[in-house]
C-alpha cells in the first residue's frame, strides 16, 4: 500500500519516530495538598444505593486494576456495574482535564440514575487520575502504573479520540495488555490499516490485544460524573487485533481475561462475539450514526419522532431514504473490497458448522444483502414496501 492510500491519521503516525511519552498520574492530592480523609456523602434513602466499598480490593497492582479512560456516559455505565461484579477489581477513572480532579473531590462520586428501577447508584470508591506529560509541582509524584504495564484498559472517549489515547499510552502497553474501545464508531485498527499501525508502533512479540465494544444502551449526561441510564439495552464485545502467543499457541482471543470480565459484568448484558461479528455490528451501528443521529441533532428531536410519517412524498422520509442509500453503498463497497477478505473469512469460518467447509463468496453475498438499503430500512422500523420516490 502506497503512502497516498494511507488515511491522514495513519500517515501522521508512520512519520512520527519519537519515543512514547512518559506520563505522570496526577491525583486530587496534586491539586489540593491536604484533603479531608472523610467526605460527607449525605443521608441515603430507599431510592439511593451507595457502593463505596464495592471497588475495595486487597491488591492495587496494575495487573489487577481496570483503567477507564474517558469516564463519560458509557464509561460511567460500565464503571458503576463493574464495581458490582461478583469478582470486582479496583478501578481507576482517567479524566481528560485537570479541573475534573477538583470536581471529583466536591461531588458524591460516580452517579448513575436507573430509570427502570428508579434508583440512583452512587459510588465514590474509585481512584481518579489525570495523565499528563507535566510533572506535578507539589504533592505525590507518580508515573502511570508506576512505570509498569497496564493490563486492563477500557477506552470510552469519543470515537475520534480513541486511537489517539491508546497511542499516547503505548509506553505502558504490551503483550500483557488488553485494550477495549467502547465508542460509537468503527475501530481504526481493522485491516488493512490496523496491522500496519501496530507493526510500526510496537516491537514484535509485545503487541497488546485490542477489542471493540458496541454499546446500545441509551445513556445521557446529567452533569459531571452523573449519567441517566434512560434506555437499557445490550452490548457486544469482540477482538479486533491479537497476536498469537508462542508460549501458548492454543490460546484464543475469547480466552482474554478482560474480555471475559466485561462479558460477565452484571446489568449491562454484554455478549462476547467473534472478531467478524463485532466488525459487522460496528458497521450496523455506523448506520445509526450516519443516517439517524445527525438528523436528531439537526432537528433537535428524539429518534422516534423521525418515524412519525410514512408518506412517500414526506421530505424527511426522502432525506432518510437518501442517507440510507448512501450509507448502504459505502458499507457494501467495504464488504466487497479485497482488504476485508481476512475479516470476512474469519467470520465465515466462525459461522460454519463443524466438519463443513465455508464458502467465503456465499457469506460475502449474504453480507451484501444484510447491508442493502431495504434491509437497513426495515431494521430502523420502516416499511420495506413503501415507495421511496428516489
Kindly state whether residue 389 falls inside one of the protein's structural domains. Answer: no
Residue 106 confidence class, pLDDT cut points 50, 70, 90: very high
Q: What is the mean pLDDT of residues 11-20?
A: 94
Q: Say yes or no to pLDDT of 318 above 80.
A: yes
Alpha-carbon torsion, ordered 178, 270, 293, 211, to 10 deg: 20
Starting at the edge strand found earlier in the chain, the sheet holding 110-114 runs 48-50, 119-123, 110-114, 226-231, 218-223
Q: Highest mean pLDDT: which of 84-88, 203-207, 281-285?
A: 84-88
Q: Which pLDDT score is estimated for 40?
A: 40
Which phi and psi angles does 34 have, rounded to 5°? -125, 115
pLDDT at 54 over 60: no
pLDDT at 357 over 80: no
Q: Which residue has the cell 460509537?
A: 184
Query: For residue 356, what pLDDT is reported?
Result: 66
Asked if 252 and 317 sit in the same domain, the reply is no
**The pLDDT value given to residue 342:** 86
Q: What pLDDT is attached to residue 56?
A: 36
Is 276 a known ligand-binding residue?
no
Show the cell assigned to 339: 482488504
DSSP of 72-128: SHHHHHHHHHHTTSTT---EEEEESSTHHHHHHHHS-SEEEEETTTTEEEEE---EE
Rg (CA), the chain: 22
* Shared-domain flag, residues 257 and 310: no
The residues, ordered by sequence, that sit 6+ positions from 252 with a Cβ below 8 Å of its Cβ are none
Decide: 219 and 65 in contact? Cβ < 8 Å: no
> Where residue 97 sits, what CATH number does that domain have?
3.40.50.720
- pLDDT tens for 264-314 read 999 999 999 999 999 999 999 988 888 888 888 898 887 777 777 667 678
Which of 273, 291, 323 is the last residue in one of the domains? 273
Mean pLDDT of the region 200-207:
94
Indicate whether 250 and 313 sit together in one domain: no
Q: Which of 229, 244, 273 is the last residue of a domain?
A: 273
Q: Within this chain, do residues 143 and 194 fall inside the same structural domain, yes or no?
A: yes
Query: Do both 23 and 86 map to the same domain?
Result: yes
Asked whether residue 30 is marked as a ligand-binding residue, the answer is: no
Same domain, 60 and 156: yes
Is 257 in the same domain as 324? no
Q: pTM of the entire structure? A: 0.87
Same domain, 78 and 53: yes
Q: Which three cell numbers stand for residue 282?
A: 460496528
Same domain for 159 and 229?
yes
Binned at pLDDT 50, 70 and 90, residue 39 comes out as very low
- Catalytic residue status for 149: no
Residues 347 and 230 grouped into a single domain:
no
293 labelled ligand-binding: yes
Active-site residue among 285, 302, 338, 366?
A: 285
pLDDT in tens, 120-168: 999 999 999 999 999 999 999 999 999 999 999 999 999 889 999 999 9
Same domain, 47 and 146: yes
pLDDT band at 380 (very low <50, low <70, confident <90, very high): confident
Lowest mean pLDDT among 12-26, 73-87, 159-173, 289-303: 289-303
Grid cell 516491537 — which residue? 203
Q: How many domains does the chain have?
A: 2
Residue 72 is labelled as binding a ligand = yes
From CA 127, how far away is CA 68, in angstroms rounded? 10
In this structure, what C-alpha cell is assigned to residue 18? 519519537
Beta strands in the chain (DSSP E): 24-26, 48-50, 66-69, 91-95, 110-114, 119-123, 127-132, 152-155, 178-181, 209-215, 218-223, 226-231, 235-241, 270-272
Looking at the fold, whether 288 and 269 belong to one and the same domain comes out as no
345-356 tens-digit pLDDT? 888 888 876 666
Residue 170's domain comprises 3-273
Amino acid at each position: 500500500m502506497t503512502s497516498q492510500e494511507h488515511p491522514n491519521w495513519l500517515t501522521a503516525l508512520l512519520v512520527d519516530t519519537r519515543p512514547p511519552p512518559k506520563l505522570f498520574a496526577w491525583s486530587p492530592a496534586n491539586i489540593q495538598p491536604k484533603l479531608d480523609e472523610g467526605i460527607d456523602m449525605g443521608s441515603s434513602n430507599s431510592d439511593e444505593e451507595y457502593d463505596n466499598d464495592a471497588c475495595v480490593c486487597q491488591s492495587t497492582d496494575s495487573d489487577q486494576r481496570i483503567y477507564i479512560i474517558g469516564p463519560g456516559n458509557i464509561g460511567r455505565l460500565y464503571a458503576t456495574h463493574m464495581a458490582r461484579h461478583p469478582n470486582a477489581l479496583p478501578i481507576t477513572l482517567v479524566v481528560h482535564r485537570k479541573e475534573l480532579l477538583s470536581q471529583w473531590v466536591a461531588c458524591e462520586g460516580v452517579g448513575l440514575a436507573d430509570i427502570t428501577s428508579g434508583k440512583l447508584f452512587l459510588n465514590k470508591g474509585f481512584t481518579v487520575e489525570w495523565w499528563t506529560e507535566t510533572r506535578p509541582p507539589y504533592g505525590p509524584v507518580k508515573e502511570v502504573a508506576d512505570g509498569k504495564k497496564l493490563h486492563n484498559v477500557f477506552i470510552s472517549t469519543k470515537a475520534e479520540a480513541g486511537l489517539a489515547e491508546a497511542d499516547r499510552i503505548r509506553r505502558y502497553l504490551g503483550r500483557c495488555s488488553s485494550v477495549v474501545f467502547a465508542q460509537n464508531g468503527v475501530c481504526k485498527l481493522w485491516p488493512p490499516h490496523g496491522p500496519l499501525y501496530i507493526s510500526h508502533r510496537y516491537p514484535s512479540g509485545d503487541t497488546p490485544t485490542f477489542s471493540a465494544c458496541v454499546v446500545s444502551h441509551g445513556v445521557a449526561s446529567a452533569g459531571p460524573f452523573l449519567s441517566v441510564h434512560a434506555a437499557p439495552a445490550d452490548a457486544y464485545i469482540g477482538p479486533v487485533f491479537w497476536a498469537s502467543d508462542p508460549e501458548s499457541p492454543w490460546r484464543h482471543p475469547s480466552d482474554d481475561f478482560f474480555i471475559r470480565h466485561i462479558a460477565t459484568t452484571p446489568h449491562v448484558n454484554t455478549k462476547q462475539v467473534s472478531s467478524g461479528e463485532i466488525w459487522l455490528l460496528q458497521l450496523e451501528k455506523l448506520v445509526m450514526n450516519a443516517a439517524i443521529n445527525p438528523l436528531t441533532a439537526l432537528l433537535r428531536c428524539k429518534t422516534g419522532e423521525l418515524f412519525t410519517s410514512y408518506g412517500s412524498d414526506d421530505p424527511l422520509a426522502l432525506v432518510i431514504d437518501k442517507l440510507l442509500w448512501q450509507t448502504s453503498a459505502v458499507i457494501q463497497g467495504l464488504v466487497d473490497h479485497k482488504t476485508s477478505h481476512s475479516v470476512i473469512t474469519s467470520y465465515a469460518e466462525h459461522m460454519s458448522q463443524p466438519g463443513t467447509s465455508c464458502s467465503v463468496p456465499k457469506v460475502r453475498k449474504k453480507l451484501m444483502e444484510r447491508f442493502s438499503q431495504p434491509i437497513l430500512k426495515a431494521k430502523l422500523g420502516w416499511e420495506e414496501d413503501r415507495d421511496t420516490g428516489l
